[in-house]
Amino acid sequence: MTDPNETGQVKLNPEDDGHLDVSRAGFSHLKDAIRAPGLTVDPAEIDRSVADVRKRLAVFFYKQDIPCLWISFVGGTGTGKSTLFNAFCGISLSETGVERPKTGGPIAYTHESCQVEHGFPFPDVVMDRPGKAEAAPERSLGRPGHLTVFTHHRAGWSHLIILDTPDLDSVETENLASVEAFYLLSDVIVFVASQDKYADDVPYQFLLKISEDQIPCFLLVNKTHDITKGEILSPLQGQGTVFPENRVWLIGYQISRDEESISADPGFSSFVQALLGVVSPDRAKAFHRQEQARRARALSNKIERLSELIQRERHEAQRWLAELNHLFEDSCAELIKAEKRRFTAESRQHLQSEIRKLFQRYDPLSGPRKLIRQILSAPFQVIGISLGRRPNHRKSGLSRVRQKVDLTPVLGTIERFNRSVLETLSPQRKESAFSRMLHKPDMALTEAEIRAAMLKEHDKLDQWLEKKFNDLSRGLPRHKRWGIYSTSILWGTLILSFEIVVGGGFSGLDAVLDSVLAPFITKGSMELFAYREIKAVAKELAQEYQQALRSVVKRQKERYEKALLDFLTEAEDLETLRELRKRLQHFT
């Protein structure tokens, strides 16, 4: 047995005869983990493949724990399938008739010691146990979604489960699903056809499926009259189905179609003898191991196909993400260009005017203290900062700059970015869940979200600017009131730099700072050092602000990335599939 707490481990136990040790919990979690955005394949195809693999794996586990051999009678309406089933069992269990489909759900005949329910692979199927077959009050029609189990105590059949299934050509989808499910459990198929219906499309397609899956099959052609095995096989061979003649039995047409007359038919008697010889108790263990190997091969092939589909999706997803990043980089580049153009058009003239006013009032030959203070305070009065204010008023300067932030360029950039994504990266399958997700209105950042993101970035810049100011002003004498080392002048210059940057003045930053700082440079080595320090901080501030603009657009990009990744199978889940396939191949 396996540890139910395992989450994906697959082990082969060489001491366990015919058993593949695979964590059942390990693959069950992949029900939701294996998915696809539909970039290369219809996601529904992967969903169907996952469902098929999970179902086949559940059957594989079940057959390991319950090694009974399942013999399933399969056929279309009116072929006499249920009559032949009853005749084989030697007791009337399943209702018969030709006017309409009689079997509404599968009916099983098994030994009383066989625990059919234990680990049953189809949890939606309800088990009905009316009791012993000999005591059955009447024939059963079976019920959709149920498995009706009649028991017996025949020692020679303790390893067999004989099953009558709903009609292949039933119009009830639930019946068809039931046939498909119990088909996976079957170790032997008894395919029942009639002389007038054996080459019909639905039975033929199912017979072709049995042949492709290499399930041991016995073909019973019922109600025959003046026809040979060769004549029966000729149309099938003409359509590409190779069926061995020694697995075909003809049951002659009889007026009385009850179980007793069928049992007396030489063709039927020969069939029963041949089938029981193949599944005899002394051969049952080897036969079961052979069938498990067949299931392992089929399951391995299914997993290989599923892995290929997933890998194609993952590969295309990488290309999709690279293209998304390309659109993001282009959008950010255009945003920075737009910001520079905005400064050139709207801000440069205003700032130059303010600087000229400053120089007009500045007289370096004048000695009066009042004039010096006027000169020093002029640029900061323009931006709302007074030299006489206390440091705790720095927040008001930052707040004033924040109020001048124009969201229009960022809003326009994100709108164009979203449009490019939908035009360029939408999957071709518009009906896919991922495509619908991309086109949802809430996929795009709202103006309120963009504003909140921009304010958050401003908070980071405010903190960054405060730290830079504290680093530069550390150790300044308290009595120093003028010159570049004045804390008021230092903070005012940083605020002015911030205002230039927010206005888009990335390219004109040096020229503006030179104009502002020139009156305070005494050409002393310390003054020149401070001058270079302030300019370096201003340039770094410009880079930080550009990153802030990019980060807002990046939020939109990350929303698309998350949407894709939510529809993509993780690498470790794909590896779990591949590891399982390796173990299955080893098992075979």
CA pair distance 126, 149, nearest whole angstrom: 11
Q: How many CB atoms lie within 10 A of CB 170?
A: 21
Say what the pLDDT of residue 338 is: 83
Pair of tokens at residue 556: 């939109």
Concatenated DSSP letters for 216-276? -EEEEEEEE-S--HHHHHHHHHHTT----GGGEEEEE--S--SHHHHHT-HHHHHHHHHHH
Q: What share of the chain is helix, strand, coil (3-state, %, to 5)?
A: 60, 10, 30
Residue 150 pairs in a beta bridge with: 109, 131
| Long-range contacts of residues 270-276, Cβ cutoff 8 Å, at least 24 apart | 271/218, 271/220, 272/88, 274/218, 274/249, 275/71, 275/188, 275/190, 275/218
CA pair distance 304, 515, nearest whole angstrom: 70
How buried is residue 199: exposed, middle or buried, by Cβ count under 10 Å (0-12/13-18/19+)?
A: middle
φ, ψ dihedrals at 413, nearest 5°:
-65, -45
User: Contact at 8 Å (CB) between 200 and 168?
Assistant: no
Rounded to the nearest 10 degrees, how much is the dihedral formed by the CA atoms of 210, 212, 217, 220?
Answer: 60
**How many residues make up the chain in this entry?**
588
Q: 371: number of CA atoms within 13 Å, CB side? A: 10
φ, ψ dihedrals at 52, nearest 5°:
-65, -45
CA pair distance 528, 364, nearest whole angstrom: 18
E strand or H helix that includes residue 564 = helix 525-566
CA pair distance 337, 111, nearest whole angstrom: 82
Concatenated DSSP letters for 482-506? SSTT-HHHHHHHHHHHHHHHHTT-S
Say what the pLDDT of residue 27 is: 60
Say what the pLDDT of residue 539 is: 85
- DSSP letter assigned to residue 96: -
CA pair distance 249, 390, nearest whole angstrom: 106
Q: How many CB atoms lie within 10 A of CB 569?
A: 25
Say what the pLDDT of residue 10 is: 35
Each residue's pLDDT, cut to its tens digit, for the chain (588 residues) gives 333 333 333 333 334 444 555 555 556 666 678 888 999 988 889 889 988 998 998 999 899 888 899 999 998 888 888 889 999 999 988 877 655 555 678 999 999 999 899 999 999 999 999 888 777 667 777 788 899 999 999 989 999 999 999 888 776 777 788 888 999 999 999 999 887 766 677 778 888 889 889 999 999 998 888 888 888 888 777 777 778 888 999 988 765 567 788 888 888 999 999 999 999 999 999 999 999 999 999 999 999 999 999 999 999 999 999 999 999 999 999 998 888 777 655 555 555 554 444 444 333 333 443 444 455 455 445 445 444 444 445 666 667 666 667 788 899 999 999 999 999 999 988 888 899 999 999 999 999 999 999 889 888 888 888 888 777 777 555 444 445 556 666 777 777 777 777 777 776 677 667 766 666 666 555 556 667 777 788 888 888 888 999 999 999 999 999 999 999 999 988 998 888 888 888 876
Which residues, including other chains, have CB under 8 Å from residue 184's CB and lie 6 or more apart?
55, 56, 59, 121
Pair of tokens at residue 36: 């696809």
Report how many helices (DSSP H) and strands (DSSP E) the chain contains, helices first. 20, 10
Which residues, including other chains, have CB under 8 Å from residue 276's CB and lie 6 or more apart?
none
Helical segments of 6-124, H only: 24-28, 30-33, 43-65, 81-89
Q: To 10 degrees, what angle do helices 447-473 and 487-502 make?
A: 150
User: Contact at 8 Å (CB) between 74 and 176?
Assistant: no
Q: How many CB atoms lie within 10 A of CB 56?
A: 18
CA pair distance 219, 232, nearest whole angstrom: 10
E strand or H helix that includes residue 42 = none
Give me the amino acid identity at 170: S
Pair of tokens at residue 315: 């590969």
CA pair distance 577, 314, nearest whole angstrom: 14
CA pair distance 148, 126, nearest whole angstrom: 9
Q: How many CB atoms lie within 10 A of CB 479?
A: 5
CA pair distance 543, 506, nearest whole angstrom: 9
